[in-house]
Structure 1
Amino acid sequence: MSPATLTSADLKGQGNALFAAKNFAEAEIKYTKAIAATDEAADSKELAVLYSNRAQCRLSLKRPALMDAERDATKATELDPTYARAFARLAMARERLSDYPGSKESWQRALDALPAANPTKAEQLQRLHYEASLEATTATMAKLESRVIGGDDDTVTGRSQIPPPWELAANVIRRMRNENPQNFTPVQRLSSAWMIHYAHKDFIEAIDSMVHNRSAVTPKLALDNLTNGIMRDRRVIQLHDDFLTDYDKQMDIEAHKYRAWTYDGPELVIRQALARQREEGWNAVRPAVSTTIRGWIMKAFLSSGLYKQHHLAVEFYKNCLQVLSELREHWRLESTTDRGVVFEPSFIFGISNMYLDAIMQAADSDPSIELLELLEEESNQLIRRVDLSLNRPLALPEHCEDLGIYSSFYVYPRGHAYAMQGFYYKKMSTRTGNDREEFSRKSALAYLTAAQCFPQDDELHPWFLKIALETMLNAGSFSVRELLDVMTRIRTSVPKAKEIWARSTLGTNIWSEFESVTKQERELRTRVVQGKYTMDVCIGPEAIAL
């Protein structure tokens, strides 16, 4: 039989054989062709099986297409609401997308779809599997309800007595305005106080709107402020007990209002966005794209920060960047007013910054080298793009109340990208033998550059200097003079950073770690005075304990 005359049943059979052989990519292609060859009106139940099978293929790929799998499984349940296996596959897709309430509901629907009377042996086994999965999902939800992003045990550490960074930042901003009401100095303009103050302002306005919407007849919008605050600085996050419930409701409100495509894959979103723009214009497509992208940002952020599913976060951020890149090319001649702020370089830099963090988190627990190489490639690309976008020495606008916006979307992403370079080289130094010292040297230089991107009053400035110091010693190719210079920079920046970041997000012991560096600086200087070291001699980790 020639390929042109293959029936839907033939294609399904081929797909089943490929699926049994675990050739999921080829099986997906066969099921796609079978779907195209099936008449929905004539055989909806058979079509439901095909969509369900394709969903399972997409769940089983080496790089799972989770959003496409969720859409396929949903379609299967719509075509045949009695198809238990389709609901089970929908539950699996939603669980891997961190949609635990949706997963729980789908597992229950799968159980409800099984026959209660005279079940077959296979159906009995299905019931046992579905019941166990429902119980596991329910337990996961209960566990996650007690987990908070950005939270810590303040009652034990006494940190609850220390104001959060945004409150201390407000004090610093008031002082700077009193000192220079007309014109801030360059150092004042780049203070981390502006960045965390306005990031918190965006975030708390979003939270207020979400809480308002619990009982509001006319709901407020919150997604823009919520994602802006998180993108500006993730350290601003403090989630209240009902955050997930409030956020799910908020996302439903805005996705429905703007007809967003939050559950579709990137290719489908691109096609639908182009079609809606042609048919309905910019006012219809602009908020839909924005809501879709911001919804994915939140899915990625929660996947990584709350559920520790870093690989899933990588996929969502990658989808954001793919959609924006391809649509930006289609609409490259259009204005920001028409296509929306999500296409602006600054917004894309913000997503890329979070994307790098997700890759780093995934790579930290993944022994393969692929993620490390991706991190190195993407961080290099972000540095190049930020530098190209600026194309001039870093400068701030003369008249701008929110001075932190420049740091949030240009300076800090660039700094984090250099830190990711440092992480890459540091990891590589542990994987190789002969090149270990060279990789350590490159790591140190990258961390030193990263530290320079952050103002001295940001905790990340001394933090990256400390990591640089450790890798400098591991390299064994830096002089005592260079080591003492970094130690001095750590010592002098810590009081400035502590003025805003006393309640550090880097851990409860971070300030004592910095104090240890100061003690080691004194010890090293003493050894120089005693003649044990010259300023130009290179020393390694055996010479001084850090």
Structure 2
Amino acid sequence: MVNPTDLKAQGNALFGAKIFAEAEKKYTLAIEATDEATASKELAVLYANRAACRLSLKRYMDADADAKKATDLDPTYAKAYARLATAQDRMGVFHLSKESWKHALDALPKGELKPEEQVQKTQYEASLEAATAALIKLQNTVVGDSAPNEGPFVMRGEGRMPWDLAAAIVPRLRTQRPTATSPELFSSAWVIKAAYEDFMNGVGLMKQLQVVGQGTHKRVVGMVGAILGLTNGIMRDSRVMHIPDNDFISKYNKQVAFEARGYKAWTEGGPEVVIQEALTRQRKDGWDATRPALSITVRYLNLEMFPAEFDKSISSAWIMRGILDSGVYQRHHVAVEFFRNCLTVIRTLREHWILESKEDRGAIFEKSFEFGVQQLYLEALMKSYSDEDGSMEVLEDLFKESDLLIHEIDEVLRQPRSTEPVDPGFVSSFYIYPKGEAYAMKGFYYNKRAMKSGNDQDLFHKSALEYMSAAKSFPQDDEKHPWYLHAAFGSMMNSHAFPLRETLDVMKQIREAVPKANEIWERSALSACGVMGIYRNTAKKEQQLRDMVVAGKASLDDRMGIEYH
């Protein structure tokens, strides 16, 4: 028989050696070998230890679940409360972590403390103070005041937003009958218009939610499908995410509570819990009870993001929470976990249900949905790298996931497709654009590696090629086309590997694409960051270089370097 004490000792040794994934496995085996009825306090230690592993692995939701279990088993266990509070801090739910730090302090022995307990007390007090300050800052954050290029912003300039301008262009595009074999007719107008329609359909459904009756007869009535609309819009193009009115967050939170209860979505625990319970529910209750609950769970989660306005049994979405955390609150590492958890649930359950029909499993298991989540995940990973310590681990994860996405999309696109008219917005949103973003992330990867390696010119060369592939994945009237061309231009200049003729060609492409992109994207978040000034400077530099060639001061075969930039 397996001895849980031996397994715990092995886990402790592995944890001390910082081999966290293997330590987690040992603690899991020890948990499975321990009887909760006769050894609750010993089991609490194992859960708390596994929570520590998961904190080190940056799996904060799973760490949260383990630490909660430990505190349930032993309400006097100070370290368990501290690990719970740490997980909550990392997820940005400071109203919860504040209370958990208080519990950790209360659980310490009363009276004179041992030296190690005094150290704990000092640490917990400092953490409580930090969580309190973070909560105050969060409560005073004005949605829409974030950097405009970072996502969700309050809609301004009504009638001239990208979706408005796109709506005026689409009727002309429809007369050209785009098909899967005529990609030159694709336009970003298709993408942003369809994304906006989905998003605003969700907003419209949220507005129908209301409380009727009084006293014991009070009940909430409304329409389901609002979260589906919001997330579908964001999955089509995350740039559609904006705050349409001042009470959007309050309405959203109430809608989440309404739909989660209606579908019996999972409102506690991380992907491990969801996977296990989804498999059990499907076996016991069938697909009609499992499919909608899974869809809603993937789209949102119990994390009580806005406590002042929200029922404490339910909270924000995995996808929506990721968007809000990365865009509004700049907590990119939190967004990474939410999107990664979505992918974990989708990929794991798809393998379990690989023989089941698409209709039974539901839309979240389609590759197009996964590609949309992967795109959001890549963007959050990139921002977390720039926002935190610039670790190579994050950078390597970014490259690996980007490369995987490109290969998987290529595999799908190689399959025979109909030549009948298609929805070009769908094709672009879930196949072409995600592939383009993956190329851009590989460009980012090589660029950062080049700088870490002392401006390695070969890596800058690779970066330029990846950025050019990214630009080609977007039509000329998408703002990302000239933007990624400009990123390619920067890496070209650092590489000293491209002849002037190629550099001038890229600069020309930027100059010609900008007016076309501005037909739709003149009031986008990216435009608000001053990219037009950057493009104007590039155009001036292009003219200077062309003048140098005419004057015989430079040759089209010259290798261009940063001194020309």
1:357 is matched with which residue: 363, 367, 379? 379
Note the 1:72-221 alignment, pairs <5 A: 72-81=66-75, 83-110=77-104, 119-121=111-113, 130-147=124-141, 151=145, 163=157, 167-177=161-171, 181=175, 183=177, 189-210=185-206, 212-213=208-209, 215=211, 217-221=220-224
Q: For residue 87 of structure 2, what is the amino acid of its counterpart?
A: A
Query: Do structure 1's residue 318 and structure 2's residue 323 form an aligned pair?
Result: no
Deviation of the 1:175 alpha carbon: 4.2
Deviation of the 1:168 alpha carbon: 4.2
Q: Percent identity, please.
A: 49
Checking the alignment, whether the CA contact within 8 Å between 2:173 and 2:185 is kept in structure 1 is: no
Q: Name the structure 2 match of 1:238.
A: 242
Checking the alignment, whether the CA contact within 8 Å between 1:150 and 1:235 is kept in structure 2 is: no
Query: Do structure 1's residue 503 and structure 2's residue 523 form an aligned pair?
Result: yes
Query: Do structure 1's residue 389 and structure 2's residue 408 form an aligned pair?
Result: no
Q: For residue 450 of structure 1, what is the amino acid of its counterpart?
A: A
Checking the alignment, whether the CA contact within 8 Å between 1:443 and 1:468 is kept in structure 2 is: yes
Measured in 1, the distance between the counterparts of 2:58 and 2:201 equals 36
Measured in 2, the distance between the counterparts of 1:214 and 1:133 equals 39
Q: For residue 326 of structure 1, what is the amino acid of its counterpart?
A: T
Q: For residue 453 of structure 1, what is the amino acid of its counterpart?
A: S
Q: CA separation of 1:106/1:404 partners in 2, compared to 1, >3 Å: closer, same or farther?
A: same
Query: Do structure 1's residue 340 and structure 2's residue 362 form an aligned pair?
Result: yes
Q: CA separation of 1:51/1:476 partners in 2, compared to 1, >3 Å: closer, same or farther?
A: closer
1:379 is matched with which residue: 402, 420, 438? 402
Q: Name the structure 2 match of 1:531.
A: 552
Query: Do structure 1's residue 454 and structure 2's residue 474 form an aligned pair?
Result: yes
Tell me which moved more, 326-335 or 390-399: 390-399
Checking the alignment, whether the CA contact within 8 Å between 2:146 and 2:328 is kept in structure 1 is: no
Q: CA separation of 1:311/1:325 partners in 2, compared to 1, >3 Å: closer, same or farther?
A: same
Deviation of the 1:313 alpha carbon: 3.2
Gapped regions of structure 1 (runs ≥ 5): none
Measured in 1, the distance between the counterparts of 2:368 and 2:125 equals 47
Measured in 1, the distance between the counterparts of 2:53 and 2:169 equals 60
Deviation of the 1:76 alpha carbon: 2.8
TM-score by length of 2: 0.81
C-alpha distance after superposition, 1:25-44 (max 9, x if no partner)? 67655654554454433454
Checking the alignment, whether the CA contact within 8 Å between 1:165 and 1:500 is kept in structure 2 is: no
Q: Name the structure 2 match of 1:515.
A: 536
Checking the alignment, whether the CA contact within 8 Å between 1:451 and 1:461 is kept in structure 2 is: yes
Checking the alignment, whether the CA contact within 8 Å between 1:304 and 1:358 is kept in structure 2 is: yes
Measured in 2, the distance between the counterparts of 1:362 and 1:174 equals 37
Measured in 1, the distance between the counterparts of 2:554 and 2:325 equals 50
Aligned partner of residue 370 in structure 1, secondary structure = helix
Deviation of the 1:262 alpha carbon: 5.1
Tell me which moved more, 469-478 or 33-42: 33-42
Q: Name the structure 1 match of 2:446.
A: 425
Checking the alignment, whether the CA contact within 8 Å between 1:166 and 1:197 is kept in structure 2 is: no
1:477 is matched with which residue: 487, 493, 497? 497
Tell me the matched-pair count.
Answer: 529
Gapped regions of structure 2 (runs ≥ 5): 213-219, 301-317
Deviation of the 1:373 alpha carbon: 2.5
Deviation of the 1:244 alpha carbon: 5.1
2:265 is matched with which residue: 260, 263, 277? 260
Q: CA separation of 1:396/1:349 partners in 2, compared to 1, >3 Å: closer, same or farther?
A: farther
Measured in 2, the distance between the counterparts of 1:324 and 1:286 equals 12
TM-score by length of 1: 0.84
1:408 is matched with which residue: 429, 436, 443? 429
Q: CA separation of 1:396/1:125 partners in 2, compared to 1, >3 Å: closer, same or farther?
A: farther
Measured in 2, the distance between the counterparts of 1:53 and 1:179 equals 59
Checking the alignment, whether the CA contact within 8 Å between 1:176 and 1:184 is kept in structure 2 is: no
Aligned partner of residue 242 in structure 2, secondary structure = coil
